[in-house]
Amino acid sequence: MSIGYMALLGEGILLATGAKGKDRDFYLWLHSVCQVAGAVAIFCGLLAILQNKFQLGKPHFVTLHARLGLGTLIITALAATGGLPDFYGLPPSWRKFQTLVNRTHRRIGRVAFGAGLLTMVTGLQTFKPAHPLHKGLLTYACAAGVAGAAIVVFSKSGLSRYNRKRLLGSLWGKSPRTVP
């Protein structure tokens, strides 16, 4: 689930944020690919957690982390639902609401990403070294990674549009506009 939120959904947000000009459609297509891959990773993580709970006979959604996670999943589903009309297009009679739908999708998506990061932090359980789940420097490194992801995505200063073009061009050996 962490990979889905931090890596895939975060990168999807950055791609959509920088989508301007003639490459806009390509970046929005990449945004949707990242979001779908992130949703698949999140769903697989949820299935693994639920399977583990069933096997161990533990109750579901009793901790703060679990409850925040459930709320985060609901917000993420709302954000994804808001992105579908933009991807497939609204019916002609609803086109006057396109700007509102896009703006709402962006805002709910950022809330979902932030809620995912908050849920990850609560999943670290504690920052007190006496806690049995504390893993020393690993706990602090994970918390720093979550904070770093938040700073990059929310400041919109991840890879600049120019650097993304160079990166994508080097990956495919051509201009990103010519990549399907």
Each as own residue / partner, the long-range contacts of residues 2-6 (CB below 8 Å, 24 or more positions apart, any chain) are 2/45, 2/120, 3/41, 3/45, 4/37, 4/38, 4/39, 4/40, 4/41, 4/42, 4/45, 5/38, 5/42, 5/113, 5/116, 5/117, 5/119, 5/120, 6/116, 6/117, 6/120, 6/145, 6/146, 6/149
Higher-confidence residue of 3 and 88: namely 3
Q: Which residue has the higher pLDDT, 170 or 150?
A: 150
pLDDT of 7 higher than 90: no
On average, the pLDDT of the chain sits at: 80
Residues 61-88: pLDDT tens digits?
A: 888 889 999 999 999 999 999 888 877 7
**Residue 52 confidence (pLDDT) above 70:** yes
Q: Does the pLDDT of residue 158 top 50, yes or no?
A: no
CA distance 135 to 22: 47
> CA 115, CA 72: separation in Å to the nearest integer?
6
CA–CA gap between residue 37 and residue 138 (Å, rounded): 26
Q: What is the CATH number of the domain that holds 17?
A: 1.20.120.1770
User: Which tens digits make up the pLDDT trace of 167-176?
Assistant: 555 545 555 4
Residue 179, helix vs strand vs coil: coil
The answer for residues whose C-beta is within 8 angstroms of residue 76's C-beta and 6 or more apart is: 9, 39, 42, 112, 115, 116
Residue appearing with tokens 């709302």: 78
The pLDDT of residue 57 is: 92
pLDDT of 180? 44
Task: Give the pLDDT score at 103.
Answer: 85
138's torsion region: left (phi>0), alpha (psi -120 to 50) or beta? alpha
Mean pLDDT in residue range 35-51: 93
pLDDT at 19: 79
How many domains does the chain contain in total?
Answer: 1
Q: Residues 81-116: pLDDT tens digits?
A: 988 887 777 888 888 888 888 888 888 988 899 899
Please give the Cα distance from 50 to 58 (Å, whole number): 10
Domain, as residue range, for 17? 2-178
